[in-house]
Structure 1
Amino acid sequence: MGRSGTGSRELTVVLEGYSYLECPRWHDGRLWVSDFYTERVVATDGRGRAEVMAEVPAQPSGLGFLPDGRALIVSMRDHRILVRDADGGLTDHADLSAAVPAVLNDMVVDEHGGAYVGNFGFDLMGGAPMRTTTLTRVAPDGTVTEAAGGLAFPNGMVILPGGVLVVAETFAARLTAFDIAPDGGLSGRREWARFGDAPATTDVGEAVGQLAVAPDGICADAEGAIWVADALHGRVLRVREGGEVVEEIPTGTGVYACMLGGDDGRTLFLCTAPSFAEHERRPVREARLLATRVDVPHAGRP
């Protein structure tokens, strides 16, 4: 991993008093974000106002939008994808129970309404041994297929202009790329960026100590770079293909997801909390949504 520049930018508080914010998405002039342990999806105008958009008792996570503007919402613990209609009602879009071994995680939705969904692969919060898992594709009609396997905790995802899917593999310290076929299938698997060696252990505690970067939520900009939330080291990194880190923004607290948005696409929103452990986050309301201004605007999906 190369590094050509580090620095800091002014961080402002957009929202506070939440449990654990994840999967931010800029849509129609507002940022949507999931709050795991209040089991709500909220949307904010970026100026302090927030509206509850959905209540998801089985814990919301990944978010995306169909071509007609309806929201898709990951319901983590019951392995479903929900669709929110214009009136706010929720119905089932897909059931992934037969396709995944663990709770669902992040999601990215393509321009046609096809969704790529990750899962933990093992009981992270329960201390189970790490194991690799799959990436699932949900077609626009709700059909579920396996898109890729052997991924080490697939987490944040982006679709770059030109049809390249990039997946953050948190416990492999890398971003992995695939070419997206017209039918939504994935091919051409390759390393997009590496941040160091993958941990030589299946023990989560040991792995955490070995990761130079733990890539979590990601988003892309108009120069083809990707912003990466480093879940273990309180920073976001702007990375070019090949692994060069061209900017680092320290957050002073844990940061687990990021999204470019705002009217000009140059506001970088950051989902922060003191830690990621469920038993620490569930009973308190210490999560905050932060923002900072950057130079290059958003591109790609989400």
Structure 2
Amino acid sequence: MTVQPLANGFCFGEGARWFEGLVWFSDMLGEAVHTVTLQGEMSTLALPGHAPSGLGFRPDGTLLIASTKTRQILAYDGETVSALADLTDLVPADLGDMVVDAHGRAYIGSQAREGGVIVALDPDGRATVMAEDLSFPNGMVISPDGTFIVAESTARRLTAFTVADSGALHDRRVFADGLDGPPDGLAVDAEGGVWAAMTLAHQFERITGGGTTALVTDRIDMAGRTAIACALGGPEGRTLFLLSSTDAYPERLIGTRLSTLDAVSVDVPAP
């Protein structure tokens, strides 16, 4: 696999998504959301006063943005940004990553190292805690068979849930344990394989559910850079977009512009 540079010059990229021919991602320390074309042209949505992280799109195209420290969910309709929900009373720590299901329901992680939770925000505005006692819940995906998978960074594992028709998460179980490093952002492919950013291992790995032992089918070495987040997309769904930085701890990168967005072709496409 050959990693190709696509864009740089931003502070700390997170929450990568592919939508309508563009790569979207948060610049958490740069208080912005960026979009990048396949030719590397970058545009910026400024979010002063917010440190954005998780992103997700509702079926109507509305972009949802997790504002980490304000613990709010923002909505961007293509013209204006508005506060959609305040989750402060439901969460024990700052917000992190997000995934939005086909019904427009958003799942948002609150990144406590112990006692982390996942909150579901329904299209009608109702917010409910759906999972508790997680170890720094980070990247989240919903696989083609409907399995909900979350990265527990400090536990170095991927945890799976079954999603009820109501959106509730139940039947908690281990998807993959004993990972090579703390997992951050996730992306899922058409076969249910999960690409995970392995921060301190400096690589991206494709993992299939193996329970107590992670089954790694592919590795992408980042030459010492910290793997942060990834997304599957491109014209045929076979491009894996990679966000990386020079440090796993954002506070050490304030004022820098050392994060990069790269791309690599993979065999199994997006769902």
Normalising by the smaller structure, the TM-score range is over 0.9
1:190 counterpart residue number: 173
For 2:102 and 2:46, how far apart are their aligned partners in 1? 23
For 2:173 and 2:136, how far apart are their aligned partners in 1? 16
For 1:142 and 1:57, how far apart are their aligned partners in 2? 23
For 1:276 and 1:249, how far apart are their aligned partners in 2? 17
1:4 counterpart residue number: none
Cα offsets for 1:156-203 (capped at 9, x unmatched): 00001232110000111111111111111111111111125xxxxxxx
Aligned residue identity for 1:284:
T
For 1:176 and 1:276, how far apart are their aligned partners in 2? 21
- 2:252 is paired with a residue whose SS is helix
For 1:226 and 1:180, how far apart are their aligned partners in 2? 17
**Are the aligned partners of 2:240 and 2:265 in contact in 1 as well (CA < 8 Å)?**
yes
* Alpha-carbon distance, 1:141 to partner: 1.4
- 1:1-302 alignment, distance < 5 Å: 9-87=1-79, 89-121=80-112, 130-195=113-178, 212-242=180-210, 243-252=214-223, 253-299=225-271
TM-score w.r.t. structure 2 length? Answer: 0.96
- RMSD (Å), alpha carbons: 1.1
* Structure 2 runs not aligned, ≥5 long: none
For 2:40 and 2:50, how far apart are their aligned partners in 1? 27
1:207 counterpart residue number: none
- 1:298 is paired with a residue whose SS is coil
Higher relative contact order (CA 8 A, sep 6+): 1
Aligned residue identity for 2:25:
V
Aligned residue identity for 1:247:
D
* Alpha-carbon distance, 1:56 to partner: 4.7
For 1:213 and 1:221, how far apart are their aligned partners in 2? 21
TM-score w.r.t. structure 1 length? Answer: 0.86
| Percent of paired sites with the same residue | 40
